[in-house]
Amino acid sequence: MPPVRARILVLAGLLVLAALALSGVAFAEDGGFAPAGPDSPNGERIETVYWFVMGFAVLIFLIVEVALVLFIVRYRNRGRARDVEGPQIRGHLNLELAWTGVPVLILIAIAIFTFYQLPGIKDVPSAGAAGSQLRVDVEGRQYYWQFTYPNGVIAIDTLRLPVQRPARLEVSSPGEDVIHSWWIPALGGKIDAIPGHPNHTWYEPEKAGTYIGQCAEFCGIQHTVMTAKVEAVPADEFARWLSAEAQAQEAGTSNLGKQEFDGVCAKCHGLDGKGGIGTNIASSAIIQDRESLETIVRQGRNLMPPVGADWSDRQMDALFSYLQKRFGSGG
Amino acid sequence: MAVNVESYPARVPWTRGRFASWITTTDHKRIGILYIATSLFFFVAGGILALLMRAQLATPNESFITKDSYNELFTMHGTTMVFLVVVPILAGFGNYLVPLMIGARDVAFPRLNALSYWLFLLGGVVLYGSWFAAGGAPKAGWTSYVPLSEQTPGNGQDLWILSLHILSIASLIGAINFLVTIWRMRTAGMTRMRMPLFVWSIEAYSALLVLVLPALSAGLTLLLLDRQVGTHFFIPDEGGSALLWQHVFWFFGHPEVYVMILPAMGIISEVIPVFARKPVFGYTAIALATAGIAVISLFVWAHHMFATGIPIGLQAFFMISTMFVAIPTGVKIFNWLATTWRGNLILDTPMLYALGFIAVFTLGGLSGIFLAVFPFDWQVTDTYYVVAHLHYVLFGGSIFGIFAGLYYWWPKMFGRVLDEKIGKWQFWLTFIGFNITFFPQHMLGLMGMPRRIYTYDHGGLWEAYNLASSIGSGIMGLGILLFFVNVIVTRRRGERASNDPWLADTLEWYATSPPPPENFAAPVPYVTSPRPLRDIRRRLKEMRHL
């Protein structure tokens, strides 16, 4: 064998081995060849549609690429002169009709299958195995997620949901804010949180666990840190937590203040309050004064958006008392 | 009365200099070269921005470039590549080639043509000037979604608006010029069904620009008014709509995608037959598919908005209209494949890029089908899956087509053939680097990585795929660098090109390399087929035999 060809073969062999090794690792880790999860019925049906389309896509991809490589190898120049022409074929009506018509049929099949699966993806079930539908308001704000439960309980960035009970999420963004997109990859598709244009989506987590996600629509300087988490817990545990949390928030003993600081303030001012893209607030006089704090949180200042324009007094109190504990002179 | 038709109006002396003659030129060929050179300059600039982003994303929690600087990078990268690279470089090819291909002396309005180029340059200068504006460069993404783009402080965003306004006018003037040229100035015998397929594609490119640029201009004006005068077109609290911008932008923006790919497909349709030594398979089908894609592309815009919660009926409509685009696109792919069948495939660099185009564009087209299926789109829109898809069609499609065109027509433009050895190295580095960069991004998107984030906290496969992607971008960068090395080497000691070095089919090769200012020294023969040059070669051969 001529040395050049041998070298090419060795190189090709190494490449194939490397590719195999990589794909082995990738498959072992569920390497991102299908949507993450899914652990919710809507997400599962999206994955079913994905694999349905994938079947045709792989087929078409193989037909094109195999034909391409075969033709290149088979009909390559091989020292023929440039002016040697191939057969002067200008077209073939039936063949062309075939590769116009067959794709039409494939696309019709994809459309039909999608519409068949669609109700199971978009329609929110009224009840699940562990109980009836739960409604939660999800608000995207620069740069945090605020969740409001039917009994008034508020949570920031971490959404606690019951397992096997459908949760209808009313997704929106306040009028003065920007567009965000709510997405927990392993639970289902995303839906935009748009000022003045409320949307909804739903999940029904199949098993307990923590599902992470983050804002998917570019929303400004801290878009990257606008993360979210869904904690799916058994339905009875959820019910107990929800009523206990309601009492705690009523009494001002919940950790709402900490959630607000971590999710709303610390993203710019740092978890230690020493500043990041925001200023150093740990030693600021503003956080020592309930009124100044309320003014800046409701109205923003310079680059700081009005992060809590419509916060309730209870939310304001929770933040103020947490800041007192954390950074106050007594702390 | 005797009129001396031989002499052109005398040129004013100061316009004759080496530099001044380029400033004052109205020659479509020189304007074409100015377009291409300027676009290549911005291509390097936009590419450097991309490499900086990939450097930042190579490993988790890196702090090389973060927050606002990163946001400026992706905004400027996207705006540059769309408005200052792909659209104008295709205008450059159209400028240089359309009059030559249809046997005309120049475009219909040479002075407007010059105006169009200088406005394009001005638009580019304004955009890059924004780095020095108060508050820095624009940072709301190349799509500048409201309300974010209304709240961005500083003047970068205003300069972005101004720049796009200028570029829209430049493109609009150029597009009208192309249309009139193609409709009114074809040489004797060149009927519509004998036009080169590249000319068909420039016609579709121009028609789309004329139809959709006014929508962009209107949207930009509303945005500017909201920012500067205090109108409330896009502010929901004041009775405006935050979604309106997306409709207006994508009504322009999606046809713009086809503006960027159709002429690249036109280039492929010219290159493949010449290097397969066969006529293109199904000329009529490809020509009609070009027109068909252009028409359908006007009805697909809201597939960019599936996650905005538009009514399901509308989502279904836009899913079906989007899937329709796949039909004429598939027709083209299969016709190109059939053209190579039983040919004498000469694997010179233009052909490598053309075949590479088929290989990667197919994947980009297929991921487009996935994205059209709106429930799946809810899962992957605004993720790296979309980044992968758009680069497979815009880089693997448009840019590969552009490189095929550069290597193919360089001898005509400059009288020298680009070096084949460097060309092949460039192709393989670009092709391999491209796939290493963008293929893993499909998986990143499926795993949950959104676009436009400056860092991530995940190890494992997230890190592995991101690192691979960054390494690939470096390989691709080397490939692009080789192109410029090739240009310098060729300029010094490149092989001189004859009028028709590739034994091509179309009329530009009837002119000398490079052509004289008036394009054709001899009258252009009557055109009797879509392959006039082959007809001429055949007639010459027959005459020699007699």
Contact of A173 with A146, CB cutoff 8 Å: no
Q: Is B241 on the interface with A (CB under 8 A)?
A: yes
3-state helix, strand, coil in chain A (%, to 5): 45, 20, 35
pLDDT at A283 over 90: no
A-B CB pairs within 8 A amount to 272
Select the residue of B236, B243, B446 nearest A32 (Cβ to Cβ). B446
pLDDT at A221 over 80: yes
Cα end-to-end distance, chain B, whole Å: 45
pLDDT at B3 over 60: no
Query: In this predicted model, what pLDDT tens digit does every residue of B226-242 receive, in sequence order?
Result: 999 999 999 998 899 99
Counting Cβ atoms within 10 Å, is residue B529 exposed (0-12), middle (13-18) or buried (19+)? middle
Give the number of residues written for chain A. 331
Chain A neighbors of B323, CB-CB under 8 A: 107, 110-111
Q: Does A246 lie in the same domain as A171? A: yes
Q: Which pLDDT belongs to residue B193?
A: 96
Query: In this predicted model, what pLDDT tens digit does every residue of B285-328 receive, in sequence order?
Result: 999 999 999 999 999 999 999 999 999 999 999 999 999 999 99
Select the residue of B241, B308, B319 nearest A192 (Cβ to Cβ). B308
CATH topology (fold) of B31-545 = Cytochrome C Oxidase; Chain A (1.20.210)
Contact of B298 with B212, CB cutoff 8 Å: yes
**Candidates B314, B324, B369, B378, partner chain A, best to mutate (most A CBs within 10 A):** B378
Chain B neighbors of A224, CB-CB under 8 A: 67, 453-456
Amino acid at A79: G
Q: CA-to-CA distance for B262 and B397, rounded, in angstroms? A: 10
State the residue for tokens 């005459």. Answer: B543
Q: Which pLDDT belongs to residue B521?
A: 87
Portion 465-524 of B in contact with A at CB < 8 A: 465, 502-503
Q: Is B218 on the interface with A (CB under 8 A)?
A: no
Query: In this predicted model, what pLDDT tens digit does every residue of B402-422 receive, in sequence order?
Result: 999 999 999 999 999 999 999
Query: In this predicted model, what pLDDT tens digit does every residue of B17-35 receive, in sequence order?
Result: 888 999 999 999 999 999 9
Nearest CA-CA distance, residue A249 and chain B, Å: 30
Q: Which region among A238-242, A287-291, B335-339, B450-454 has the lowest average model confidence (pLDDT)? A: A287-291
**Candidates B447, B451, B469, B538, partner chain A, best to mutate (most A CBs within 10 A):** B447
State the residue for tokens 């390989």. Answer: B475
Residue that terminates a domain, selected from A234, A251, A268: A251
Give the distance between the most distant pair of CA atoms in chain A: 92
| Chain B residue closest in CA terms to A72 | B345
Q: CA-to-CA distance for B408 and B510, rounded, in angstroms? A: 15
Nearest CA-CA distance, residue B155 and chain A, Å: 15
Contact of B454 with A42, CB cutoff 8 Å: no
Nearest CA-CA distance, residue B354 and chain A, Å: 11
Query: Across the interface, do A224 and B455 touch by the CB < 8 Å criterion?
Result: yes
Mean pLDDT, residues A122-143: 94
Phi and psi angles of residue B354, each rounded to the nearest 5 degrees, phi first: -65, -45
Q: Is B234 on the interface with A (CB under 8 A)?
A: no
Mean pLDDT, residues A28-50: 87
**Whole-number mean pLDDT of chain A?**
91
Q: CA-to-CA distance for A194 and A217, rounded, in angstroms? A: 10
Query: Across the interface, do B282 and A190 touch by the CB < 8 Å criterion?
Result: no
Nearest CA-CA distance, residue A76 and chain B, Å: 5
Chain B neighbors of A172, CB-CB under 8 A: none
Chain B neighbors of A84, CB-CB under 8 A: 277, 344
Question: Where along chain B do its domains lie?
Answer: 31-545
Query: In this predicted model, what pLDDT tens digit does every residue of B54-93 receive, in sequence order?
Result: 999 999 999 998 888 999 999 999 999 999 999 999 999 9
Q: Does A294 lie in the same domain as A187? A: no
Query: Across the interface, do A222 and B67 touch by the CB < 8 Å criterion?
Result: yes
Query: Across the interface, do A32 and B381 touch by the CB < 8 Å criterion?
Result: no
Domain-located, residue A294: yes
For A155: left if phi > 0, alpha if psi spans -120 to 50, otherwise beta; the answer is beta
Question: What band does A26 get if pLDDT is binned at 50, 70 and 90?
Answer: low
Task: Please give the share of chain B, as a percent, with pLDDT higher than 70.
Answer: 98
Find the domain containing A167 and state its range. 127-251
Select the residue of A65, A91, A185 nearest B281 (Cβ to Cβ). A91
Q: Which pLDDT belongs to residue B340?
A: 97
Q: CA-to-CA distance for A308 and A260, rounded, in angstroms? A: 10
Select the residue of B345, B346, B378 nearest A190 (Cβ to Cβ). B378
Q: Which pLDDT belongs to residue B18?
A: 83
Nearest CA-CA distance, residue A199 and chain B, Å: 6
Mean pLDDT, residues B419-429: 97
Q: Does A141 lie in the same domain as A243? A: yes
Mean pLDDT, residues A92-117: 96
Select the residue of A46, A80, A277 nearest B379 (Cβ to Cβ). A46
Q: SS3 letters for chain A?
A: CCHHHHHHHHHHHHHHHHHHHHHHHHHHCCCCCCCCCCCCHHHHHHHHHHHHHHHHHHHHHHHHHHHHHHHHHHHECCCCCCCCCCCCCCCCHHHHHHHHHHHHHHHHHHHHHHHHHHHHHHCCCCEECCEECEEEEEEEECCEEEEECCCCCEEECEEEEECCCCEEEEEEECCCCCCEEECCCCCCCCEEEEECECEEEEECCCCCEEEEEECCCCCCCCHHHCEEEEEEECHHHHHHHHHHHHHHHHHCCCCHHHHHHHHHHHHHHCCCCCCCCCCCCCCCCHHHCHHHHHHHHHHCECCECCCCCCCCHHHHHHHHHHHHHHHCCCC
Question: What band does A50 get if pLDDT is binned at 50, 70 and 90?
Answer: very high
Mean pLDDT, residues B501-530: 94
Residue that terminates a domain, selected from A197, A223, A251: A251
Select the residue of B330, B362, B447 nearest A99 (Cβ to Cβ). B330
Cα end-to-end distance, chain A, whole Å: 80
Mean pLDDT, residues B91-102: 97
Query: Across the interface, do B277 and A82 touch by the CB < 8 Å criterion?
Result: yes
Q: Does A227 lie in the same domain as A306? A: no
Query: In this predicted model, what pLDDT tens digit does every residue of B466-498 receive, in sequence order?
Result: 999 999 999 999 999 999 999 999 999 999 999
Portion 378-397 of B in contact with A at CB < 8 A: 378-383
Q: Which pLDDT belongs to residue A137?
A: 97
Residue that terminates a domain, selected from A197, A218, A251: A251
Q: Does A243 lie in the same domain as A278? A: no
Q: Which pLDDT belongs to residue B522?
A: 86
Nearest CA-CA distance, residue A316 and chain B, Å: 24
Q: Which pLDDT belongs to residue B1?
A: 44
Mean pLDDT, residues B242-247: 95
| Omega prior to B147 cis, within 30 of 0 | yes
Q: Does A144 lie in the same domain as A230? A: yes
Q: Which pLDDT belongs to residue A2?
A: 57
Nearest CA-CA distance, residue A2 and chain B, Å: 21
Select the residue of B235, B375, B442 nearest A117 (Cβ to Cβ). B375
Q: Which pLDDT belongs to residue A17?
A: 73
Q: CA-to-CA distance for A90 and B25, rounded, in angstroms? A: 41
Q: Is B4 on the interface with A (CB under 8 A)?
A: no
Q: Does A320 lie in the same domain as A303? A: yes
Chain B neighbors of A103, CB-CB under 8 A: 326-327, 330
Q: Which pLDDT belongs to residue A302?
A: 81
Amino acid at B281: F
Q: Is B310 on the interface with A (CB under 8 A)?
A: no
Side-chain half-sphere exposure of B464, counting CA atoms within 13 A: 11
Amino acid at B510: Y
Nearest CA-CA distance, residue A86 and chain B, Å: 4
**Whole-number mean pLDDT of chain B?**
95
Select the residue of A29, A85, A186 nearest B344 (Cβ to Cβ). A85
Query: Across the interface, do B453 and A213 touch by the CB < 8 Å criterion?
Result: no
Q: Is B61 on the interface with A (CB under 8 A)?
A: no
Select the residue of B71, B375, B450 nearest A118 (Cβ to Cβ). B375
Q: Which pLDDT belongs to residue B519?
A: 95
Select the residue of B243, B326, B344 nearest A197 (Cβ to Cβ). B243
Number of structural domains chain A divides into: 2
Q: Which pLDDT belongs to residue A331?
A: 44
